[in-house]
Amino acid sequence: MKQLISALNIFVILSLSGCGWLGLRDRSNDYLLAEETEVTTVPAELDDTALGQIYPIPPIASGSVELVEFEVPRPQPASVNTFEQTVKIQSLEGRRWVLINIPPSEVWPRVRSVLNRSGVPAAVANGSKGVIETVWVKFNNDEESSHRFRFQISPGVQIDSSEISALHNQIARGSEEGAQWPSVSDSDEREKDMLTLLAGELADASNYASVSMIAQEIGGAAKVEVITPEVADPFIQVKLSFDRAWASVLYSAERGGYVTIDQNRSEGVLYVNYTPQGDDEKGFFARWFGGGDDKITEVNYRILVATVGNNVEVRVVGPNGEGLNRAEALRLLTILRSNMS
């Protein structure tokens, strides 16, 4: 019995020590010796779709800053709204919407849940377009009319945010069949009340874990993105009206290291000072003797906002309107875009 146990112990030790003890070569590190081989050439008359790169490398734009810049940049400051849960109603140019800083794919199931709990179920729900149309409902204080609402969920200006707008339709009872949606709400008060209800319910909810796969591409392309052309300076493209874009840029130009010194809305120019966060902090003695309250008054950059076609383009230039090197311009634009809302 002791001999059997000893034999088993020796076998276990040999097994744990690797295959080499049993006369087998350990191949676990052979990948380190692998060499690049020629790509398999398939005759033109044959189908080569089954062959390809196992780990394809995506193309890099020829105008990418990373191809010419090698200085490791400082980490970009986080957006001021990154760590906040925000639900608020905003309005501009006669339009009203609910802003919430979670992506549309998470907002979509939450809105549907709120409507169902409120007794206003959806008659139409198009996740790819971000549209929810409710059934006809009746209000206790209106015995003569039927009402319905259309909700539009789209990506917000702020990163990973959503905008929810509502359209109210009212018609005499019995005439619901064939009713057409109006261009603006039939009752501004009803629209406001519905958005207030929706905003309150979304603000009270603490769990946004559910995500709709149907609504992953909801609302189409982003309203705001940083564009880096190959032969031109980078800029921020805003797919909104000038008034909305100006308000968003003005909001961002007071955050993330920017300070607005002056502005000229008619010319679309903001005169700003940008100081990386942390660089302008005063020392102990400066704060002790009151040296920490100096107001920044020196303009070191201009932010240009201009309408180009159907969009608005935002650029950052030097204090006298001169161009910046590509890496610096892209860094400043990225910070500006991160705080747009």
CB 234 within 8 A of CB 326: yes
Instruction: Give the structural domain span for 195.
Output: 87-204
Residue with tokens 């692998």: 34
Indicate whether 273 pLDDT > 90.
yes
Residue 64 and residue 228: Cα distance in Å, rounded? 8
* 78 lies in some domain: no
Number of Cβ within 10 Å of residue 207's Cβ equals 6
In this predicted structure, what is the pLDDT of residue 142? 86
> Residue 189 phi/psi, 5° resolution?
-70, -40
pLDDT one-digit tens code per residue, 211-233: 555 555 565 667 888 888 888 88
Q: What is the pLDDT of residues 148-202, one digit of tens each?
A: 999 999 888 888 888 999 999 999 998 888 899 999 999 999 999 999 999 888 8
16-43 confidence digits (pLDDT tens): 555 555 556 777 777 777 777 777 788 8
The reported pLDDT for the residue numbered 120 is 86
pLDDT digits (tens, 9 = 90+) for 82-95: 545 578 888 887 88
For the chain, counts of helices (H) and of strands (E): 6, 12
User: What mean pLDDT value characterizes the chain?
Assistant: 79
User: Is the residue at 33 inside a domain?
Assistant: no
On whether residue 212 sits in a domain, the answer given is no
Token duo for residue 87: 């639900």
Name the token pair of 267: 């010319």
Alpha carbon of 297 to those of 188, 259, 261: distances in Å? 44, 9, 6
User: Which of 172, 204, 236 is the C-terminal boundary of a domain?
Assistant: 204
- Can you tell me the distance from the alpha carbon of 134 to that of 181, in angstroms, rounded to the nearest whole number? 12
Residue 262 and residue 172 share a domain: no
Residues 262 and 184 in one domain: no
Q: What's the number of domains the chain is made of?
A: 2
Residue 2 has pLDDT above 60, yes or no: no
Statement to judge: residues 231 and 178 lie in one domain:
no
Residue 213 lies in a domain: no
The alpha carbon of 291 is separated from its chain's Cα centroid by a whole number of angstroms, namely 39
